[in-house]
Amino acid sequence: MGSRFVQIALILLFIVLAAVFFSRVGQMGVEELSYTELISHIESGNVATLSINSDTDIAEGNFLPTRDTEGNETVGRYKANLPPEYTEILAASKEQGVSVEIAKPSGLSLLFNPTTILWIMMLALPIAFIWFIFSRSAQAGGQSQAFNFGKSKARMMNPEKARMTFKDVAGLEEVVDELREVVDFLKDPAKYQRLGAEIPKGVILLGPPGCGKTLLAKAVAGEANVPFFFISGSDFVEMFVGVGAARVRDLFDQAKRRAPCLVFIDELDAVGRHRGSGIGGGHDEREQTLNQLLVELDGFEPNSGVIVLAATNRPDVLDPALLRPGRFDRRVVVDSPDSKGRGEILKIHLKNKPIDSSVDIKAIAQRTPGFSGADLHNVANEAALLAARRGLDRITMSELAEATERVVAGPERRSRIMTEKEKLLTAYHELGHAVVAYRLPGADLVHKISILPRGMALGYVLYLPEEDRLNETRHQLLNKICVMMGGRTAEEVIFGGDEITTGARNDIEHATEIAREMVTRFGMSEKLGPLAFGSKHQNIFLGKALAEDRNYSEEIAAVIDGEVRRIVSECHEKATQILDENRAALAHLSEILIERETLEGREFGELMKELDESSPSGDVTGLPDQTTSEPPSDPLSIGLSGSGA
């Protein structure tokens, strides 16, 4: 639209300049005369012709030809304004025999007069500009689009462009089976109707961000041979009352006319939040839009042949009326993939990328627990970028391993200058985490230790569970707290309490949070028993409490605080005992870590074994290590213990 306006403006400007130019050219060589001078020229016999415009009272004509010194003949022209009464000129012209013509111009001659064209163009330019401004505001959804407010913003998927199918979805076999049945119902409804089955009204996909909800909708669009409308929940909501409801009606009117069809609403929580919780009680625009959506999904008039597919990662905030059977008959949970699923997803994302024969996709899948499909796509893309940056023809395991760490903690910041004291403090801090994890039976394996700044951390320890864990025992949670307190404890053991740093902030926050969850939610406190304290409205996928209703007394609150303090303090004391007995190991490993800056988990384990064998008793602490215990794992335990985190 902007380029079109510029073209129109340039054309009009060219016409104006052309009109001015030709009007100036037409006036060149014309002598302007007064009324008296014109009469004098006529009486002197210098005028050959006279043309009088009766509308404008302008006289024009030619002088008699004259010759210059070289004998060239020239004919001059003149122009003069006449008074309302010009009988004197007519009489003088008759007496001298001058040819007189009284002309009355036509409408076309007036229209194409240069002066007229100039005025028309000068008025056309601001009119065109105003039209451009209003048309732009209409496209942007401004006030000038009032008559189009009620139109739905849903777009229909072009079957030729829907190239994604269920073959492009991996790690979600059960979810694909559910959706394949919906697509099959649309293709062959008689297969199900002969047994009395009804077509489902709606399917809602629930899961954390990045797990493939929108990807599944694209696959459904590619598989279904029916019209597929897609829209975001935020497209319904406007500041003007009634607009969202009108858009919902228009969307379903379009869907009914093209039934059977599918309607996909992404981010359903934008319009489907619990009623009565917004500004204005039950009268705000969003809730009116939700009411209309409820009616269209399962109201008095059924929507035969229209299936609604929705996606959200906030099922806890949705209105109960929206989730009842008859509206969304099926709830499909799209969760993070397991190790096998992660391998299949990586194969899809690496399918069109040249990878080296040494790449072990299974190993990459095992070291990425808790990664969503979007995270794995990011890993594959980062690996390709790293390989291109290094001038390689193929992606190797080195690029994939580095890409995994970049996704977890961010890129390395080698340009950040650390003093020798900061390096020493960071090395002891990270080794404190690693040594405690190594000595505790059942703790997650140490995969990598680094004192290179990455992301927000000055250093980090990466833990690698071998299996996905769905539940955690009390012993495993206590091990987590002990490992988290290992960094601060190492600073205290080696440098004393006055030299502790702020790098343990994130560790302390997580340790306290786990301890509080053990007491208030998991019933793991001997003093309080198996009771839950505090009613929490929680996002079950994000794992974060949105609000908490305190349903216990001040006395119970004091007991909860005491239990949390006791759990963290006991874990701190246990970490102190382990590190105090491993002072020699900390000192030796810190020198190696400062020199190398990074220690792989295998190297760390070998160094710890050498230290155990070289000690007089054969074991530095007398505690079992990770090589003699079963290494349980946790899909969320892969993380950082960073000095700057």
- Give residue-wise pLDDT tens across range 246-279: 888 888 888 888 877 888 888 888 888 887 765 5
Instruction: Give per-residue burial for 430-462: e unless 16+ CB within 10 Å, then b.
Output: bbbbbbbbbbbeebbbbbbbbbbbbbebbbbbb
- Return the ∠ at Cα 102 (arms to 97 and 103), rounded to 5°: 140
CATH of 155-333, one of 3.30.428.10, 3.40.50.460, 3.40.50.300, 3.40.50.720: 3.40.50.300
pLDDT on residue 408: 80
- Return the ∠ at Cα 471 (arms to 469 and 476), rounded to 5°: 85
CATH 3.90.950.10 for domain 339-408, yes or no, is no
CATH of 2-114, one of 3.40.50.2300, 3.30.420.40, 2.60.120.1140, 3.30.720.210: 3.30.720.210
Q: Is residue 637 predicted with pLDDT exceeding 70? A: no
pLDDT tens column, 31-61: 777 777 777 877 777 777 777 776 667 777 7
DSSP state of 355: B
pLDDT tens column, 107-122: 545 555 556 666 666 6
- Cα 129 to chain centroid, rounded: 34
pLDDT on residue 154: 63
What's domain 420-614's superfamily in CATH? Peptidase M41 (1.20.58.760)
Average pLDDT of the residues in 291-320: 79
Bridge partners of residue 51, in order along the sequence? 60, 101
pLDDT on residue 328: 84
Domain residue extents for the chain: 2-114, 155-333, 339-408, 420-614
pLDDT on residue 45: 77
Average pLDDT of the residues in 122-139: 64
Pairwise CA distance, residues 83 & 89, whole Å? 10
| Mean confidence (pLDDT) of the chain | 77
Q: Is residue 607 predicted with pLDDT exceeding 70? A: yes
Q: Which amino acid is at 610?
A: E
Pairwise CA distance, residues 156 & 224, whole Å? 13
Q: Which amino acid is at 338?
A: D
pLDDT on residue 431: 92
pLDDT on residue 612: 82
Which DSSP string do the residues of 162-226 spell out, in sequence order? ----GGG--S-HHHHHHHHHHHHHHH-THHHHTTTPPPPSEEEEE--TTSSHHHHHHHHHHH-SS
Pull the structure tokens for residue 308. 């609604």
* Domains 155-333 and 339-408 are alike in CATH topology: no
pLDDT on residue 626: 44
pLDDT-derived band at 88 (thresholds 50, 70, 90) equals confident
pLDDT tens column, 480-526: 999 999 999 999 999 888 888 888 898 999 999 999 999 999 999 98
Pairwise CA distance, residues 208 & 460, whole Å? 26
Pairwise CA distance, residues 413 & 430, whole Å? 17
Closest CA to 640 of 492, 458, 518: 458
pLDDT on residue 441: 87
Q: What pTM, to 2 d.p., does this model score?
A: 0.65
Active site residues: 430
pLDDT on residue 489: 93
